[in-house]
Amino acid sequence: MSAVASGVSAGLRRLPLRTRLLSALGLSLTLVLGAALLLDLRGAERLADQAFDQALLNTATALAARLEIDTDNDLEADLPVSAQALLQADPLDRLYIAIFDGPGKLVWGDARLAPHAGAGSDSLSTAGSASLDQQPVRVLVLRRQGPGQRGVIVVAETLNKRGDARAQMQMRSLRLGLAMLVAALLGLYLSTRSVLAPLERFTRNITGRAHRDLRPFEVEQSGAEVAALAQALNLLMARLRDSAHAQQAFIGDAAHQLRTPIAALSLQLEMAMQDHATTPNGPAHDQFLQRLQTMQVLVARLQHMVQRVLSLSRSSSEAGSNQAPATVDLADVAEACAGLFVDRARQAGIDLGFELLPAVVVGWEDELQELLSNLIDNALSHGGGRVTVRTRDLAPGALLEVEDEGPGFDADLAATVFERHRRGPDSSGAGLGLSIARAIAEHHGAQLTLQARDDGTGAVARLVFGPPLKT
Percentage of the chain beyond pLDDT 90 is: 8
Residue 391 or 230, more confident: 391
Mean predicted confidence (pLDDT) in 322-343: 85
- Convert the pLDDT of each residue in 334-344 to its tens digit: 998 888 888 88
- Convert the pLDDT of each residue in 176-189 to its tens digit: 888 888 898 888 88
How many of the other CB atoms lie within 10 Å of CB of 279?
A: 11
- Report whether pLDDT(288) > 90: no
Burial per residue of 398-432, b for 16 or more beta-carbon CB atoms within 10 angstroms, e otherwise: bbbbbbbbbebbeeeeeeebbeeeebbeeeebbeb
Phi and psi for 240 in degrees, rounded to 5?
A: -65, -40
Mean predicted confidence (pLDDT) in 91-120: 82
AA identity, residue 357: L
Smallest Cα–Cα separation from 128: which of 100, 162, 98, 151?
162
pLDDT of residue 320: 45
Contacts of 204 (CB under 8 A, 6+ apart): none
Give the DSSP H or E segment for 340: helix 330-348
Q: What is the CA radius of gyration of the chain?
A: 49
Give the DSSP H or E segment for 352: strand 351-356
What's the CATH code, domain 67-161?
3.30.450
- Report whether pLDDT(471) > 50: no
pLDDT of residue 319: 42
- Convert the pLDDT of each residue in 230-240 to its tens digit: 788 888 888 88
Q: DSSP class of residue 220?
A: P
- Of the chain, the end-to-end C-alpha distance in Å amounts to 51
- Report whether pLDDT(294) > 60: yes
At residue 252 the predicted structure's pLDDT band, cuts being 50, 70 and 90, is: low
Q: Which fold has domain 326-465?
A: Heat Shock Protein 90 (3.30.565)
